A and B are shown apart, each in its own frame.
Chain A
Amino acid sequence: MRLTQGTFSFLPDLTDNQIRAQVEYCLAEGWALSIEHTDDPHPRNTYWEMFGTPMFDLRDAAGVMAELESARATFRSHYIKLNAFDDTRGVESVRLSFIVNRPRHEPGFALIREEAAGRAIRYTIRSYAAERPEGERYP
């Protein structure tokens, strides 16, 4: 099951040239880019691991793309996303965030039903991948 989180996630995966164009747009807007990765696809897993420090004061996408290449080489089968942070006063938050790398096989989520007091049923989801320990989830 394909994970749909962040911008562009209902589109086919972006090619490197398309990613570069998005990065150029972010830099033209004056946003700072950063790279994050995780192997826990749960939608409530908001804070992913940082890959390197956020990249401030860049002028050209080449720096981000080189960093992305090294992130992909290190975490080939993790989810990797690019975040663009807007430091405008009053905004000061992430403006754009999209996935740029995903595992080849995404097993999806199981629906878990819990019987609570009375006849109430509580629902939650659990990723099949998350049944294995961190770092071993995607071959």
Chain B
Amino acid sequence: MTASTTPGQEASDLEAASDRSKVDELLATLDAELVGLAPVKTRIREIAALLLVEKLRAEVGLTGGSPSLHMSFTGNPGTGKTTVALRMAEILHGLGYVRKGHLVAVTRDDLVGQFIGHTAPKTKDVLKRAMGGVLFIDEAYYLYRPENERDYGQEAIEIMLQVMEDQRDDLVVIVAGYKDRMDRFFQSNPGMSSRIAHHVDFPDYTPDELLAIAQLMLEQMQYRLSDSARRTLIEYIGIRRQQPNFANARSMRNGLDRARLRQANRLVEARGGQLTREQLMTIEAEDIRASRVFAGQGTAAEGDQ
């Protein structure tokens, strides 16, 4: 196959070009829709490049075996692990690595049964559903419970390992969770650790990134911030980040949802005259200022208020 003729070479280059543009398009949407996450984007770019090169190699008869693409996403809550997994499924589908490109998101409850003989069919069922796409296991460390040696989680892990090895072409497994707990999970399950080639760490968002995320969310919901509201939101982010149970982008969404509630309440109570489109769209500083985050300043704020 090394003696490739000129027309053949041309064809492969052309195909590569069209592939590349498709990948570029996918990566561009990723850049536009996801704020920050630089290390994650770099890794995705690398994987995309690898798959592209692998395709070109296959065309000239070089076989390196299909690369293993099982991944581990670690990071704090709300850093975009599920969202990236969803995008990853689309990208892998765009590159032709998985055939269908859907995402099946599961947790321990979907994999582990409650009595002897219940776990295997349950796990296999989930694996069959995920074939042709991506299986996303959230908080995967709950599968392994060292304190109970008869826990059925181990059985689920073993079945999964088997399929991850034998049917690598049929599905990609992504496990996700907090960094420290995932590290301990991998330490006690060397089989799992050795089958996962890509470990991607999701950093926490900086205040600027959180603001950008909030604005992106508001844009999607067709709201806008007044200038004073914007300043208040920056203040809000600064305080909220220091409080317990801070869940990055998810906390932002919850905060905005409550601001919407207060905005609606304010508009209804004001009552006087016609409401303009502008009024219906704008979130004012007082809508954010009324949040318990500001009230709880100094004292220990509880929950995601």
Contact = CB atoms under 8 A, between A and B. Distances in A.
A86 interface: no
B97 to A, nearest CB: 13
Most buried by B among A53, A60, A66: A60
A60 B121 contact: no
Contact of B129 (A58, A61, A67): A58
A55 interface: yes
Nearest to B163: A66
A52 interface: yes
Contact of B133 (A52, A59, A61, A67): A59
Contacts of A66: 128, 131, 167, 170
Contacts of B129: 57-59, 63
B167 to A, nearest CB: 7
Interface residues of A, number: 13
Interface residues of B, number: 14
B133 A63 contact: no
A62 B121 CA distance: 16
Most buried by A among B100, B121, B128, B171: B128
B170 A52 contact: no
Interface in B76-131: 99-100, 102, 121, 125, 127-129, 131
Interface in A45-80: 52-53, 55, 57-64, 66-67
Contact of B132 (A52, A53, A59, A67): A59
A87 B127 CA distance: 22
B102 A59 contact: yes
B133 A60 contact: yes
A58 B132 CA distance: 9
A64 B167 CA distance: 13
B170 A62 contact: yes
Interface of B: 99-100, 102, 121, 125, 127-129, 131-133, 167, 170-171
